[in-house]
Amino acid sequence: IKRVTTNSLQEMKKRGEKIAMLTAYDYSMATIVDEAGMDIILVGDSASNVMAGHETTLPITLDQMIYHASSVVRAARRALVVVDLPFGSYQGNSKEALNSAIRIMKEAGAHSVKMEGGVEIAESITRILAAGIPVMGHLGLTPQSIYKFGTYTVRAKEEAEAQKLREDALKLEELGCFGIVLEKIPAQLAREVTESIHIPTIGIGAGKYCDGQVLVIHDMLGINKGFKPRFLRQYADLNNVMNSAFKAYIDDVKAKNFPNDKEQY
Ligand code: KIV
Ligand code: NA
């Protein structure tokens, strides 16, 4: 199998082939995602929400991200593995940022890192790239800044924030990032940004003009019952599937139907 690389992603943008990206946090799920042919697997800090049950992405630690990432890397034969630098592991200074990125590459065996922000983290991005570590940017609704935003609503609807985002995207390209996640911004702004740079944009709630799309695996599989924002397409109803399986198992155990004679030694 030919591994997806940051170079092949640039080629995909050039020839207009859309990029499919999905999160995963453990070996078994990542194996299924990889075998399906996903281009990029993101070990997102959304693990803080869907794996650990935190309300935000802020609490997850670098050690916890490395644990998730190392499991996913062992599963990914074809996909490029991108790992989020968690909150607090890169904002302090560029040396700390580089050390965090190095730990993710070395201890988890990841292929690249993702960081939230634009010009304000330029120095850290430069330093990480200089060490040979590919960096993906993340603009728009950046969940590590949720307490600054105060809401999970669409970002950059006002011109000032839209203009900052356009400039940030150009800066990230100039620095040498291999792609940019655009989260929850108007489709037309995502289109402008996508057409203004040569590196691929990967959208989530950012419309159809992005060069690729990303979703959180639990959301698209319908595991989180209550979460149904407009941008989310649910490709399965695993909550129901799993609930039925668990209930059937409970019923069988209670009714002494499991195990039967053939299911014992
Ligand atoms: O952590 C995550 O899952 C992400 C995606 C939503 C882009 O950053
Ligand atoms: Na993230």
Query: How confident is the chain (265 residues) per 10-residue block, as mean pLDDT?
Result: 96 98 99 98 98 98 98 98 98 97 98 98 98 98 98 97 98 98 98 98 98 98 93 98 98 98 98
State the pLDDT at residue 226.
86
Q: Which two tokens stand for residue 90?
A: 């890169």
Taken in order 202, 204, 210, 212, the sign of the CA dihedral is: positive
| Active-site annotation holds for 123 | no
User: What separation in Å is there between the alpha carbon of 45 and the centre of ligand 2?
Assistant: 4
Atom of ligand 1 lying closest to residue 114 CA: 8
- Model ipTM value: 0.99
Of 101, 40, 97, 50, the residue nearest 72 (C-alpha)? 40
114 marked as part of a ligand binding site: yes
211 lines ligand 1 (CB under 6 A): no
User: Do 154 and 29 share a structural domain?
Assistant: yes
pTM for the model: 0.98
Active-site pick, 158, 183, 192, 263 = 183
State the pLDDT at residue 131.
98
3-state class (DSSP) for residue 59 = coil
261 marked as part of a ligand binding site: no
Task: Outline where the chain has alpha helix (H).
Answer: 6-15, 27-36, 47-50, 62-75, 94-108, 122-130, 146-149, 159-175, 187-196, 217-220, 238-254
- Give the whole-angstrom CA distance, residue 16 versus residue 9: 10
User: Do 255 and 131 share a structural domain?
Assistant: no
Q: Phi and psi dihedrals of 175, rounded to 5?
A: -65, -30
Domain assignment of residue 258, given as a range: 238-265
262 marked as part of a ligand binding site: no
3-state class (DSSP) for residue 230 = coil
User: Do 51 and 136 share a structural domain?
Assistant: yes
User: What separation in Å is there between the alpha carbon of 86 and the centre of ligand 2?
Assistant: 8
* Residue labelled with tokens 């170079």: 7
User: Is 66 inside a domain boundary?
Assistant: yes
- What CATH code is carried by the domain that includes residue 82? 3.20.20.60
Which amino acid belongs to residue 83? Answer: V
182 lines ligand 1 (CB under 6 A): no
State the pLDDT at residue 225.
87
User: Do 151 and 42 share a structural domain?
Assistant: yes
Instruction: Give the count of domains, the chain.
Output: 2
User: Do 30 and 65 share a structural domain?
Assistant: yes
Q: Which residues surround ligand 2, an ion (CB under 5 A)?
A: 44-45, 84
